[in-house]
């Protein structure tokens, strides 16, 4: 999708937020803020790029947003923004008994992204505090090669293509309280895009690229 189309889509989505906030001021509705922190697991091309599903505690997901609830329509929206990381493990090359490299380690990449989005929230059950969420999520990725770097000033660590890309996020959430503190645990799947064209010919994970990921996160609502 072209950037101009993404920008228009994002603008239309963000225009819904002020109107929803106005609705939230009436009919016993509410507006709350939340913060989330969790860990990412690479999937699809992000797994191809990173070389492993989980790159350690540094593969974190940090998010903040609003929870807008309108009682009359039972509509809940969560505009959100944050920072997400999918890290690689460069590993060591295979060496012989003399210490010479026999097989170099596979070339891998770190994926660092900022995002904004809007989740629509659906209450799955009237008896359980279980929710299903779905909505657009716009990412700008910075993909950096983390090993096998050639020597010299011409080394290009970043792989380019940082335009805003349209994606989607699906998730399940469970709300609970600990000593009157409102908490939530979410498990989400985010489908994103990094490169949309195979400009250099098809290279798995690089041209084109759809770096999806799973996230397990905990949220605190103010």
**54-83: per-residue pLDDT in tens?**
999 999 999 999 999 888 777 899 999 999
Domain 3-148+158-221, CATH = 2.40.160.20
Q: What's the pTM?
A: 0.82
Segment 173-197, tens digit of pLDDT: 999 999 888 999 999 999 999 988 7
Classify burial at 221, counting beta carbons within 10 Å of its beta carbon; exposed 0-12, middle 13-18, buried 19 or more. Answer: middle
Residue 200's pLDDT band, with cuts at 50, 70 and 90, is low
Q: What is the mean pLDDT of the chain?
A: 85
Query: Per-residue pLDDT averaged across 26-42, rounded?
Result: 86
Residues of the chain above pLDDT 70, percent: 83
Residues of the chain above pLDDT 90, percent: 56
Tokens 């790159």 sit on residue? 55
Residue 164's pLDDT band, with cuts at 50, 70 and 90, is very high
Candidate from 4-8, 63-67, 177-181, 212-216 with smallest mean pLDDT: 4-8
pLDDT, residue 8, reads: 52
Contact present, 61 and 40 (Cβ < 8 Å) = yes
Its sign, for the CA torsion 10, 11, 15, 17, is: positive
Q: Judge whether residue 3 has pLDDT over 50.
A: no
Segment 107-161, tens digit of pLDDT: 999 999 999 999 999 988 888 899 999 999 999 999 999 988 776 555 567 888 8
pLDDT, residue 153, reads: 55
Contact present, 42 and 53 (Cβ < 8 Å) = yes
C-alpha dist (Å) from residue 176 to 28, 44, 123, 131:
22, 32, 14, 12
Q: 101 or 2: whose pLDDT is higher?
A: 101
pLDDT, residue 27, reads: 47
pLDDT, residue 155, reads: 56
Candidate from 1-5, 19-23, 43-47, 143-147 with smallest mean pLDDT: 19-23
Q: How far apart are CA 193 and CA 167, in angstroms?
A: 7
């Amino acid at each position: 999708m072209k950037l101009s189309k993404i920008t228009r889509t994002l603008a239309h989505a963000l225009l819904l937020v002020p109107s929803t906030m106005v609705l939230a001021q009436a009919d016993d509705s509410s507006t709350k803020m939340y913060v989330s922190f969790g860990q990412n697991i690479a999937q699809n091309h992000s797994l191809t790029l990173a070389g492993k599903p989980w790159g350690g505690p540094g593969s974190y997901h940090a998010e903040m947003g609003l929870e807008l609830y309108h009682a009359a329509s039972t509509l809940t929206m969560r505009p959100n923004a944050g920072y997400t990381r999918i890290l690689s493990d460069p590993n060591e090359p295979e060496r012989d008994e003399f210490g010479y490299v026999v097989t170099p380690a596979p070339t891998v990449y770190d994926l660092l992204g900022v995002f904004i989005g809007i989740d629509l929230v659906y209450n799955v059950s009237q008896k359980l505090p279980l929710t299903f969420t779905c909505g657009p999520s716009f990412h700008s990725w910075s993909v950096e090669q983390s090993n096998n770097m050639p020597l010299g000033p011409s080394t290009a660590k970043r792989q380019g293509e940082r335009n805003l890309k349209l994606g989607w996020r699906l998730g399940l959430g469970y709300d609970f309280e600990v000593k009157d503190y409102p908490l939530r645990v979410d498990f989400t799947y985010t489908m994103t895009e990094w490169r949309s064209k195979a400009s250099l010919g098809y290279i798995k994970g690089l041209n084109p690229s759809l770096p999806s990921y799973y996230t397990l996160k905990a949220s605190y609502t103010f």
